[in-house]
Amino acid sequence: MMQQKKETIITADRCNDVLEVLPQTPTVLHVRKCITTRGFSGIWDGSLPPPQIGSDTFGFDYFASNLLKKYPFLGADQEKAAISSFEEFERSCLESNRRIYHSCKYNLLAAKDISSIARKIRVVLGDVFDWDIAEAGFSHGPGASTRLRRRESDAYFKFRGKPETTQYNMPLAVAAVGRIPLWFGEIHPLRQTDMFHVVPGCRITTVPKNAKTDRTIGIEPCMNMYVQKGIGSMIRSRLRRVGVNLSDQSHNQNLARLSSFLGLSTLDLKGASDTVCYELVERVLPPAWFEAMKRCRSPRYVLNSRVHTFEKFSTMGNGFTFELESLIFWAIVQVCVDKTFGSLREGRTVSDTMAADRLTAVYGDDIIVPRACADAVVELLNFCGFTVNLEKSNLDGIFHESCGKHYHGDTDVTPVYVDEPVSNPDKARLFANNIARWSARMSKTCPSPVYSAMWARAYKHCEQWHETLAPIPDGVGDDGIVYPCFDGFQVLPVRTARVPLDHSHGKKHKWSGESKIPVLDMGQPMRMKEDYQHGWYYWTWKQVELDLSSRNPQDIPFLLRQLNTVKDTDTFVSDLLSKKGLRRSPGKNILKACERKWVKGWTNSWEPLCVNSCA
């Protein structure tokens, strides 16, 4: 407990160190106050001032409000909150089952909507279910089962020992094992009933989600999961025929970026996997498909050593839940699009149909629809028992999010989440790299000198582990330091760990000795060729941080603010010399003199600033 508390304080202080250089808006100040006073609950308890959509500081506010949103702080009972939500969703499914049953029996409009959804799904799946096709997708899941722990979840353990299954799934389990002679020989049964250990259903547990609550999942019996994966792969392949690719999130992300320009709404559901009620699935699936899914699902669950009967059809953790919910949401969206824009029979052309389809996207519970039919989609989702998450859904405006990407207009403001302690070399390096990626994304459309200072603050926590400072390009992992690109300038580390005293072009270099801190190279401005002749500048992160945090014009020059505007290099450096009380050495090149003065005068207090000329 003491170790966890210490790691939490270290992580929070390092996050606060980064937040210190942001514009001090009410949102940023609130988060910093929660960190400094150790009142971490203020980050997620609703008292945090929301970022102002449309403001110039939205990206910084959104970054600050989400930075520690997923960190598992001590004192917050995330598991209890998750179990409470799970039980609430079960009660909601019970109400939905009753509502759908009675509405379809006595309400013609409701029956028509359910029938329309079923018709859309039948077009995708067909009326016949083929177990031979499903068998091609049979496989064990990557996680734990009711028999095996997470660390024993590889194939070696899952194909050994006595598998577990539910009673209703027994015939499928026998057939699946019999198709693999090696597996069948491993079990070596005396009687068919002795091949498997029969369990009532899945086991409910929790996994981390955010600082406020965990996420509940169902750990399935291994043979049930083995068969469920085959059905899930069948649904996934059939959805691709209608343009829904559940292996690629880029379509949703691109539409989210263009939502404010194309008039689209992004919807996110609350507990979508836990609110797929049994009655809805029975009404909308073709009978053969429903029977196949019913046979391999877990009808009951074990929670706190007690067995309960499900009101939902399946949980997150089931092998086909994600594909099933995506199929249902796609059908709901198509029904609402037809109702809003008219069907083909009512004069809707094929080109209109294709255009509307291109402007809709479904990936799990991440839904994107034209703004004109968003209200109809929300209404039908509510009737089917689903709840729209108003915190993450955006029916209009310029902020939209989908599939992990967040856009303010066309600016990617996807925040950085710190969900583990930043208290070792790997986590410190990951933290710095994520800050670098966020800063590089933001600087493309919202240039600001703050980004380099943020990365400097995050990067300095890696300095104590010198072996982790190797530079790597982005996209190849986090085994080294990612150096970002700020506003057209590529940040590059100096190739040597020593500080150059004489950096003139075409002459032999002189070195000042060893330095463990790599120097920041803002290199040649890639956008402005005419600036090449005026030289380039080297400075260290400590100096960038000092300049941006203190805002003191007497400190090492305002290079980030003036780098793109300086034209007369000699005059510029002369001004710097006069501000620091240094003189130009007679008969010496002004840049070299300035360079040596900086190295000799400031090495003892911080890393040297080196100015070099191309001339």
User: Cα 162 to chain center, whole Å?
Assistant: 38
Query: 312 - beta bridge partners?
Result: 277
- Does 36 lie in the same domain as 107? no
Pair 547, 537: CB distance under 8 Å? no
Q: What is the pLDDT of residue 562?
A: 40
> Is 434 a member of any domain?
no
- Does 321 lie in the same domain as 236? yes
> Is 376 a member of any domain?
yes
> Is 435 a member of any domain?
no
- Does 307 lie in the same domain as 194? yes
- Per the rule left: phi > 0, alpha: psi between -120 and 50, beta: everything else, 342 is left
Sign of torsion over alpha carbons 365, 368, 373, 375: positive
Q: What is the pLDDT of residue 569?
A: 46
| pLDDT class of 47 with cuts at 50, 70, 90 | confident
Q: Which of 64-78, 218-232, 283-297 has the lowest mean pLDDT?
A: 64-78
**Residues 559-583, mean pLDDT to the nearest whole number:** 47
- Does 94 lie in the same domain as 30? no
| Side chain identity at residue 225, one-letter code | M
> Is 175 a member of any domain?
yes
Distance (Å, whole) CA 435 – CA 461: 12
Tell me 608's DSSP state: P
Q: What is the mean pLDDT of the chain?
A: 77
Provide φ and ψ at 85, rounded to 5°.
Answer: -65, -40
C-alpha closest to that of 178 among 196, 198, 154 = 196
Last residue of a domain, one of 388, 423, 458: 423
Give yes or no for residue 564 having a pLDDT over 80. Answer: no
Provide φ and ψ at 571, rounded to 5°.
Answer: -60, -40
Distance (Å, whole) CA 100 – CA 130: 29
Q: What is the pLDDT of residue 64?
A: 93
> Is 334 a member of any domain?
yes
- Does 177 lie in the same domain as 63? no
* Residue-by-residue DSSP string for 47-115: -SPPP-TTSTTHHHHHHHHHTTTT---TT--HHHHHHHHHHHHHHHHHHHHHHHHHHHHH-HHHHHHHH
- Does 95 lie in the same domain as 6? no
- Does 229 lie in the same domain as 257? yes
Helix axes 321-341, 222-240, angle to 10 degrees: 30
Distance (Å, whole) CA 10 – CA 7: 5
- Does 40 lie in the same domain as 109? no
Q: Using the CB atoms, write b or e for 185-201: b if 16+ within 10 Å.
A: eebeeeeeeebbeebbb
In the numeric block, the tokens 């100015």 are attached to 611
**Residues 43-63, mean pLDDT to the nearest whole number:** 82
| Bigger pLDDT: 281 vs 109 | 281
Distance (Å, whole) CA 36 – CA 38: 5
Pair 277, 311: CB distance under 8 Å? yes
| pLDDT class of 74 with cuts at 50, 70, 90 | low
357-415 confidence digits (pLDDT tens):
678 999 999 999 999 999 999 999 999 999 998 888 999 889 999 999 999 988 899 99
Pair 323, 236: CB distance under 8 Å? yes
3-state secondary structure of 309: strand
> Is 471 a member of any domain?
no
Helix (H) or strand (E) holding 407: strand 405-408
| Bigger pLDDT: 214 vs 490 | 214
Q: What is the pLDDT of residue 560?
A: 34
449-463 confidence digits (pLDDT tens):
788 788 888 888 777
Q: What is the pLDDT of residue 547?
A: 32
- Does 85 lie in the same domain as 54? no
In the numeric block, the tokens 């988060």 are attached to 31
85-130 confidence digits (pLDDT tens):
999 999 999 999 999 999 988 888 889 999 999 999 999 999 999 9
Sign of torsion over alpha carbons 346, 351, 355, 357: positive
Query: Tokens for 361?
Result: 């996207």
Domain extent at residue 557:
488-612
Overall domain count for the chain: 3
- Does 285 lie in the same domain as 146? yes
C-alpha closest to that of 427 among 10, 2, 19 = 10
Query: Tokens for 84?
Result: 């409470």
Q: Which of 323-327, 447-451, 476-480, 572-576 has the lowest mean pLDDT?
A: 572-576
- Does 289 lie in the same domain as 248? yes
| Side chain identity at residue 365, one-letter code | D
> Is 190 a member of any domain?
yes
Provide φ and ψ at 490, rounded to 5°.
Answer: -85, 125
Residues 141, 118, 252: CA angle, nearest 5 degrees: 55
Give the residue ranges of DSSP H helices in 189-320. 222-240, 250-262, 278-284, 287-296
- Does 322 lie in the same domain as 204? yes
* Residue-by-residue DSSP string for 18-57: HHTTS---HHHHHHHHHHHTT-GGGGTSS-SPPP-TTSTT
148-207 confidence digits (pLDDT tens):
988 888 888 888 888 999 999 999 999 999 888 888 888 766 555 678 999 999 999 999
> Is 526 a member of any domain?
yes
Distance (Å, whole) CA 3 – CA 354: 57
